[in-house]
Structure 1
Amino acid sequence: MKPTLETIEATILHSGLRNYKFKNSHVHPQPSVEANKGAIFAWRSKPKMTLGQGVVITSLEALVQSPDEYTHWTPNVYCYGTYTDRVHHITQGHTESNLKQINAFIVDIDIAPGTEPLSSNDLLLDSLTLGLMPTMILKTTRGYQMFFILSEPAYVTSHSNFRVVAVAKKISQSLRQYFAQNFPVDTTCNHFGISRIPRTDNVEFFDSNYQYPFSKWLAWSLKQTDEPCHFKTSTVHSTPSRRQVDEPWFSLLLNQSDILGAKGRYGRNNAIFTLALACYASQLSHASCFDILNRFNLRLHLPISINELKKTIRSAYSGTYQAASRAFVIPLLQQWVSSTLTAKELFGNPNWWLLN
């Protein structure tokens, strides 16, 4: 028997919302005594989502009372949601710093027009090899979205310095890279942001038996890397004794001239930003970094503008980030240098830390 949308959404959200509306409930006429929980966000169309015109939802009742009303949502729960305007059109609060619980890892398969079609069965067969099955597969306008639902949510707390977000990103990145070996995965979208919402017209597959604990996902992710990672926070950098600009990957990437801008994969702008972060982490001056990347940019077949180059370097040197991320370096080099490159070849034998 095919599950209802309410069952599917309740399975994904893991009691992250109230069951009933706080006011004007149609199914629970007495004032709600449920404690405040979290909030999610939903949008009625992609254009409205682009404009930020959405809805804050704090109860399962409010979500399911209008089936197929929404096209996009946030399957992970936030601490709160609000609006920036008086008429409650523009939503605010769906940011990583406001995450309350992580419920799902999502892999977005974005099939370009004219390419060989795929089916949800192809994704399921590949998942059998992975050994961890998706809980749900949605059909989208361009392909599919696979939802890997945790058996219990991963809660984001200040007590742990929000480390769970960093570790979850690592798992999510490993999952995307696994499927990117055989399918056109969008590897650049936000790990815990907006996705398609289950509707009566897009659920291709759903099986609530396929839910796995966070610990199992972490164990799987650690096996995907060639060297141990020590999870501490969310930006990755190498030990101070070895500069990132001296690592093999830096010169390999710096000598490529055919890197293009690429939607849904790591491209030219990602490459320049990653190289700039390596310069920053290696304590090169802003001027030295500009000289290096200006020469690199001029060698590209399709360089970016000088203003964009300067803006990218300023961002890398802003202090917001500490160093180039391993999660970006590996797919960049595998995309533009050689798909067979391993972490050991790219980094030698450094120690890597995950920082927040």
Structure 2
Amino acid sequence: MDGVIAPWTGSHNALNSYGDDHWERRAPIAAALTRRRVEAMTPVIESIVQDVLDGLDGVGAQRKVDLVQSYALFIPHEVITRLLGVPAEHLPAFSAAAAGLFDTSAGAEEMTRSMGAVLALLEQLVAGAREHPGDNLVGDLVRAADASGNPLSDAALRDQLMLIIAGTEATAHAIGTLLVHLLSHPDQLDLVTSGQVPMEDALTESLRLRPPIASVPLRFAAWQFEDVGSGEQFGEGEPILIHIAGADLHPERYEDPERFDVRREGGSRSLAFGYGPHVCPGAALATREIVIAVTRFLERYPHARLALAPEPLEQTASFISNGYTSIAVELS
């Protein structure tokens, strides 16, 4: 396959593998993204967030800012590039190419260029870590892969890193969406900022209502079957795109599922971080980033408000990622 599907089906990683093959590819990522690594990154995340907030202060508290371009995108991109050890001079091109992998409105040539740019840099990072494994995620991934019974090749390690890059886009959207949910629901915002409800609970509800990943290409029918709920027929080998963003809005699962309620009875659960064997190994790191980013923003700008109602906000041109391309906010 080519075009928008190529980065998702053309690589061989933990996302699109199963059984023993899946565990062999997932294990090094899980071993690299340990609780120790997340804890070690926490002061780094705090520092990044404070730097970005200081930059917002520089534009003047009375001006409108775009929370996506001026805040939400910066944080996960800075975190992941520091985790990976990306050289500073490559950061702008790397971030642009990584974001391009999610633009399903892009043409085949444009998508090929984005994928080529990301793969070229990842190949450099893996090769460098083979020679001099540093104290970063790539070094941890190489060490974990080499310590396994079936060491992964450089190409396999590169494909695993593609998944981690995919997490930056999702994290950025989760930061922006949580802020939109809170700023557009003052009563819910007050519950969180007053300490009555933890920010983690607000995040869980936000992820349920609007997960940052809408669908993951692709799954394939292992045999011919009929979906009981819809009556759809699928032939063996037929590609299937599952819209997971709709799964947590089912009225049989949640009462009034379209309502944002940080104190939802019975709690909120979602497929935002995957499920079962495919649950995201970077969920703890992403959660830490989102909670810190949103908490510190609201502390710095307690009177911030959306310049537009949520409905007109421009959404991503993608059937994979699920977020806003621009969020105009008045800081005070």
TM-score (norm. length: structure 2): 0.23
Higher relative contact order (CA 8 A, sep 6+): 2
**Of the two, which has the highest radius of gyration?**
1
Which structure has the highest helix share of the two? 2
Which structure has the highest strand share of the two? 1
